[in-house]
């Protein structure tokens, strides 16, 4: 019996990128197995993202389009992960819908799925701006101060996870937590899960504008400090 892979992506106002992204990643799930799925969660987009996805679902047989009210990137990821758990996926692969990651690099992860329960990308030669590189470095430092773990790239949107191993980790994450992937990375290390960080490329945004402005990122980061300490106390 083939492994059932669900590739999941949150999408918010990605009308300029979504068609190309679906075309690229649908070919991946199709190659893995007919029972695999590409699941894109529309996070309350205000442009034509959802309409485009609905039209494309008639062309791509393994595409699943889900829509919900806007709740932010982290909460949408948790929604997607729980959707995959309920659909009995064997593996969950998460990436973003903005075209910054390369489907070709997925196969290096997939080939190692029987050796590790978590395969997480570590972005090399990032092309998404110096401000985001600085934010990532500050986040790494904050994680070390609060949790005493060193995470190579805490929030990488390129990760292959065994569903049965992810499920217990999700219990530690608040339902609306913005940095849900960060917490997953932290608990993978703290729980000594079988994990491997692999280098991945990270291209500039392929179209449109990023909904996360620097000011908003700083505000979210300040909130995360308090939340990190609360989560640390309740481990």
The answer to whether residue 11 scores a pLDDT higher than 80 is yes
Between residues 8 and 141, the one the model is more confident about: 8
Instruction: Work out the pLDDT band at 3, boundaries 50, 70, 90.
Output: very high
- Split at pLDDT 50, 70, 90, the class of 187 is very high
Using an 8 Å Cβ cutoff, are 184 and 147 in contact?
no
Token reading at 71: 């709740």
Once rounded to an integer, what is the mean pLDDT over residues 111-122? 97
pLDDT above 90 for 73: yes
pLDDT confidence of residue 203: 84
Summarize the confidence of residues 10-15 as an average pLDDT: 96
89's tokens = 């996926």
For residue 79, the model assigns a pLDDT of: 97
In the numeric block, which tokens belong to residue 52?
A: 């485009």
222 pLDDT above the threshold of 70 = no
DSSP for 159-223?
A: EEEEHHHHHHHHTTS-TT-TTHHHHHHHHHHHTT-SEEEEEE--PPP-SS--S--HHHHHHHHHH
Which domains are present in the chain? 5-233 (3.90.550.10)
Where residue 64 falls (left for φ over 0; alpha for ψ -120 to 50; beta otherwise) is: beta
pLDDT band at residue 178 using 50, 70 and 90 as cut-offs: confident
Q: Cα(101)–Cα(177) distance, rounded to whole angstroms?
A: 23
Say yes or no to pLDDT of 1 above 60: no
Task: Give the pLDDT score at 146.
Answer: 87
pLDDT over 70 for what percent of the chain? 84
């Amino acid at each position: 019996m083939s492994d059932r892979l669900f590739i999941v992506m949150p999408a918010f106002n990605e009308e300029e990128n979504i068609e190309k992204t679906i075309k690229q990643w649908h070919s991946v799930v199709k190659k893995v197995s007919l029972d695999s799925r590409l699941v894109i969660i529309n996070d309350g987009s205000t442009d034509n993202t959802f309409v485009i996805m609905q039209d494309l679902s008639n062309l791509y047989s393994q595409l699943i389009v889900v829509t919900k009210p806007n709740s932010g990137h982290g909460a949408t990821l948790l929604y997607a992960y729980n959707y995959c758990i309920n659909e009995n996926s064997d593996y969950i692969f998460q990436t973003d819908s903005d075209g910054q990651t390369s489907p070709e690099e997925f196969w290096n992860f997939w080939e190692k799925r029987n050796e590790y329960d978590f395969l997480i990308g570590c972005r090399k030669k990032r092309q998404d701006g110096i401000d985001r590189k600085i934010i990532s470095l500050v986040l790494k430092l904050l994680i070390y101060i609060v949790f005493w773990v060193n995470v190579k790239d805490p929030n990488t949107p390129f990760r292959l996870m065994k569903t049965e191993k992810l499920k217990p980790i999700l219990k530690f994450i608040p339902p609306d937590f913005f940095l849900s992937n960060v917490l997953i990375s932290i608990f993978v290390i703290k729980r000594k899960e079988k994990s491997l960080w692999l280098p991945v490329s990270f291209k500039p945004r392929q179209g449109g504008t990023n909904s996360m402005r620097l000011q908003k990122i700083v505000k979210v980061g300040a909130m995360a400090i308090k939340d990190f300490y609360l989560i640390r106390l309740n481990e």
